[in-house]
Amino acid sequence: MKIRKADKSDAEAISQLIMPLTEKYILPTWREDAHDLLLGSMAQGQIEQYLSDGYVYHVAESLGVGIVGVVGMRDNSHLYHLFVRDGFNGQGLSWQLWEKAKSECLLKGNKGEFTVNSALNAEGVYLKFGFERIDGVRERNGMVDIPMKLNCIG
């Protein structure tokens, strides 16, 4: 398994990884009228735009399979995307991706404060990473998440 920084040439593969996982795991917890908004935010063109706007993505590649995991950071502090392909979970890959992203943010001046808006079924993963709830489950225009933060200063 190789983890590397992503570039615009990876946008299609990133989108192809995260859209089906979103449909399977996240959309069932959202109101139907918000589905298109979320999926649109994960389309290839949008991933390309995120990369142009300074979001930093890392991908995990498996030999012969391609991209099987992705982490995306916004503003050097917000964990925007973290997905691992079915069949590759349970191997610590999400932790490895997060550690790669976190360490790069710290090297680029982050003081140890991170946020994430967790999907309902991903909260356990983020709790293991050390994140804590800022608030309870929230719904905004059909979008459901759990705002969380991590303070690893010191």
Residue 61 has pLDDT above 70, yes or no: yes
H/E run at residue 21 = helix 11-25
The predicted-structure confidence for 77-132, as pLDDT tens digits, reads as follows 999 999 999 999 999 999 999 999 999 999 999 999 999 999 999 999 999 999 99
Domains in the chain: how many in total? 1
CATH assignment at residue 89: 3.40.630.30
Give the range of the structural domain holding residue 34, as residue numbers without chain letter. 2-151
The predicted-structure confidence for 113-124, as pLDDT tens digits, reads as follows 999 999 999 999
Beta bridge partners of 133: 148
